[in-house]
Amino acid sequence: MLKSELLKILMQVSSGSLSPDEALKGIVQRPFVEAAHGLNLDTHRGLRTGVSEVVFGPGKSLAQLCGAVKALSEGKKPVMVTKIEQGSGLDLQKRFPEGKYWDIPGVFLLNKDIDLAHPWPALGRTLIVSAGGADLPVALEALATCLFFNLDAGLVSDVGVAGLHRLFPHLEALSQAEIVIVVAGMEGALPSVIAGLCDKPVIAVPTSIGYGTSFSGITPLLAMLTSCAPGIAVVNIDNGFGAACFAVKLMGD
């Protein structure tokens, strides 16, 4: 349950369209649901934190994934599964045919109409910028998460420092955005460039893409942490979801 859902219930009580007893049934539920296969799903996380529980795919069996999706989607609530392998994603889509599996970001969505197909919107209050095409899975995970939590978001892809002139047509979009999420692997330079070009807070996401001395994302992570450009916050390697959730909390309801 999100705060917006609780507010809707309270407004219905205030208007007389919903009785207090009916509202109580909608509000007072256990703060978690015991699902099958050892899962305890946090149904009140959205109410407490503004970010409802999302299912992290890796390490979970198909039975666990199906149980989590079934329990969280009760009452047609939206559900998101992240970083899910193609086999499990396609299996989920078969089990829940009204849902949609997106291969590149490894995201499964149910009861939420989100289109991640190209072309992506190039403008948004939250603007995601991807340095390379190989960083796109993490950038699309960030876009999917923003849209899942109802943020106005856009995505600009493949504008890294090896061809920085590709970024210039998007400077106006950067100036209109309120938060910029910058996703980069290799040497991780793009967040510093963008933080030096615009007055928006930058959330930097290092990716595990790169040659040997990128050390599976350690090099861009350290580069982003040691940036000389002010106004950058850094999340963990490949954590597009975490960057988007930070943006959700910054932007508020």
Per mean pLDDT, which range of 37-46, 156-165, 236-245 is the poorest? 37-46
Measured distance CA(58)–CA(50) in Å, rounded: 24
Measured distance CA(193)–CA(228) in Å, rounded: 10
Q: In this model, does residue 33 exceed pLDDT 80? A: no
Residue 183's Cβ-count burial label (10 Å; 0-12, 13-18, 19+) is buried
Measured distance CA(229)–CA(246) in Å, rounded: 20
Q: In this model, does residue 50 exceed pLDDT 90? A: no
% helix, strand, coil for the chain, step of 5: 45, 15, 40
Average pLDDT of the segment spanning 164-178: 93
Provide the 3-class DSSP secondary structure of residue 224: helix
- Residue 246 is predicted with a pLDDT of 94
Q: In this model, does residue 30 exceed pLDDT 60? A: no
Q: In this model, does residue 223 exceed pLDDT 60? A: yes
Between 144 and 68, whose confidence is greater?
144
Kindly report, residue by residue over 54-64, the tens digit of the pLDDT.
788 888 888 88
Q: Nearest-CA neighbor of 207 among 181, 169, 179? A: 181
Please state, for a pLDDT cut of 70, what percent of the chain lies above it: 83
- Residue 37 is predicted with a pLDDT of 63
pLDDT band at 141 (very low <50, low <70, confident <90, very high): very high
Measured distance CA(82)–CA(238) in Å, rounded: 12
